[in-house]
């Protein structure tokens, strides 16, 4: 009993249940992706799953195409989102506080339903569903994720630095490129990650927005697990591993404290 109290007294141990949970439901499943990717359905080692991917031109093209789409979406969101975040966060423009709220509110409507409404919007003006619709829909779904982290970093910025730059003779452009932009870099990083990650991996949005005309890498993975049946799981795991590598590389470029910006951004 004394020993038990001792364990409880050292509050370090309070994290143990969660640690166990993380190992069982986060670490082990990730290793299972690697395990399935390198095995046959009867559990023998193989690299055929990867060869199958690299030998299917269609799959490789889809992969490259998805990355390109995610890249363009992220760029558009950044170009649209940065000015918006800047206008809302800087006192100069006198933006009412409620504006910032208005930008998160759409997230409360299920994103699939919003995507479907976008489809109907296109149908109403008889715009064909294709690449343009896909890009529009993706930007539409993920723009708030770009605006929020940037808004937060600009808002927390030390304004005396800007005043100092002005006093020291910097003109407007110099103040922006040499002070404001570098200071908002952490927000830009997390914004890029928060938009790029989901766009590179999405499958439902592309399926709904293009009526299955355009296949993205996420849909390839989903099909391997959904319609492929047992024999396709190992192939699907190989595709997942490729995506996992892309994700790890991307997050590697993000900085350490982007987690903080993320949560602050959402609430």
Partner 1 sequence: MESSQIEAKKRQRNLLTRRIFAQAYLWLLIVFLYAPILLIIIFSFTRSKVLGNWTGFTFDLYQNLFTGYDYVAQVHVDPNLYYSLFYTLLIAIVAATFSTLLGTLAAIGIYNMRQQQRRAIQFLNSIPMINPDILTGISLFLLFVFLNISRGLTTVIIAHVVFCTPYVVLSVMPRLTKMNPNIYEAALDLGATPFQALRKVMMPELWPGMLSGFILSVTLSIDDFGVTFFTKGSGGLDTLSTFIYADARKGGLTPELRPLFSLIFVTMLILLLIINIRANKQAKKN
Using CB under 8 A, which residues numbered 145 to 174 contact partner 1? none
Of positions 69, 189, 198, 214, contacts partner 1 by CB under 8 A: 198
With CB under 8 A as the contact rule, which of the stretches 57-65, 152-160, 176-184, 196-204 interacts with partner 1? 196-204
Are 151 and 100 a contacting pair, CB within 8 Å?
yes
231 versus 251: smaller Cβ distance to partner 1: 251
Quote the CA–CA distance of 170 and 147 in Å, as a whole number.
27
Please say whether the dihedral angle defined by the alpha carbons of residues 86, 90, 94 and 95, taken in this order, is positive or negative: positive
Quote the CA–CA distance of 130 and 44 in Å, as a whole number.
42
Helix (H, G, I), strand (E, B) or coil at 45: strand
Touching partner 1, residues 6-25 (CB under 8 A): 8-19, 21-23, 25
Number of residues this chain uses to bind partner 1 (CB under 8 A): 88
38 binds partner 1 (CB under 8 A): no
203 binds partner 1 (CB under 8 A): yes
57 versus 91: smaller Cβ distance to partner 1: 91
With CB under 8 A as the contact rule, which of the stretches 52-60, 90-98, 160-168, 178-186 interacts with partner 1? 90-98
Helix (H, G, I), strand (E, B) or coil at 157: coil
Question: Least distance from C-beta 254 to partner 1, angstroms?
Answer: 8
**CA nearest 67: which of 235, 190, 180, 216?**
216
Quote the CA–CA distance of 194 and 258 in Å, as a whole number.
10
127 binds partner 1 (CB under 8 A): no
Binding characters for partner 1, 229-248, by CB under 8 A (x = yes): ----x--xx--x--xx--x-
HSE at residue 115, side-chain half, CA atoms within 13 A, is 22
């Amino acid at each position: 009993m004394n020993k038990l109290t001792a364990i409880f007294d050292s509050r370090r141990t309070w994290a143990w249940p969660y640690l166990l949970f993380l190992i069982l439901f986060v670490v082990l499943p990730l290793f299972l992706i690697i395990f399935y990717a390198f095995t046959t359905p009867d559990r023998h080692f193989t690299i055929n799953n990867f060869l199958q991917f690299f030998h299917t031109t269609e799959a490789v093209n889809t992969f490259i195409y998805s990355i390109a789409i995610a890249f363009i979406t992220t760029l558009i969101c950044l170009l649209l989102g940065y000015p918006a975040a800047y206008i809302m966060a800087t006192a100069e423009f006198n933006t009412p506080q409620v504006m910032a709220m208005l930008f998160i509110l759409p997230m409360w409507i299920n994103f699939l339903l919003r995507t479907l409404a976008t489809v109907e919007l296109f149908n109403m003006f008889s715009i064909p569903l294709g690449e343009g619709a896909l890009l529009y829909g993706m930007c539409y779904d993920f723009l708030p994720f770009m605006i929020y982290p940037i808004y937060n970093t600009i808002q927390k910025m030390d304004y005396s630095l800007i005043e100092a730059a002005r006093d020291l003779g910097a003109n407007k452009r110099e103040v922006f490129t040499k002070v404001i932009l570098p200071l908002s870099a952490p927000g830009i990083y997390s914004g890029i990650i928060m938009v790029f990650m989901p766009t590179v991996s999405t499958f439902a949005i592309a399926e709904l927005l293009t009526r299955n005309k355009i296949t993205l890498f996420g849909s390839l993975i989903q099909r391997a697990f959904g319609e492929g049946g047992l024999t396709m799981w190992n192939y699907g795991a190989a595709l997942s591993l490729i995506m996992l590598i892309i994700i790890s590389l991307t997050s590697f470029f993000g900085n350490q404290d982007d987690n903080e910006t993320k949560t602050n951004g959402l609430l």
